[in-house]
Amino acid sequence: MYNVKYSNQAEIDLHDAIAYIAEESVMLALEYLKSYEKKVELLQLNPLMGVECNTKGIKKECRVIVYKSHIVIYRVNNIMNEIFIIRIYHHSENYVKTF
């Protein structure tokens, strides 16, 4: 199983996403977070489950998974058995241009 680490910006991205959902419903935000955490657990077991970034138009060495309305960009370090989550974007954002 791979360890997961977050960039400072990815932590902010996740917090902002949950806070936004919580404005409508705290219960929905908690469910979203719990479901997100399950997706990350799957990623820990299968770090290559995301597609390579270049298939999404990003010209960097990374991978992408889609989680509901969010795009999670991450890097895999097989030597350290680590997944580094770089950014989490809402699908409506132009993540290709800003990343």
Beta pairing, strands 51-52 & 70-77: unpaired
> Which residue in 16, 32, 13 sits closest to 72, CA to CA?
13
- How confident is the prediction along the chain (99 residues), in pLDDT tens digits per residue? 999 999 999 999 999 999 999 999 999 999 999 999 999 999 999 999 999 988 878 888 999 999 999 999 999 999 999 999 999 999 888 777 777
**Domain boundary assignment for the chain:** 3-98
Cβ 37 vs Cβ 1: under 8 Å: no
* pTM exceeds 0.75: yes
| CATH code of the domain occupying 3-98 | 3.30.2310.20
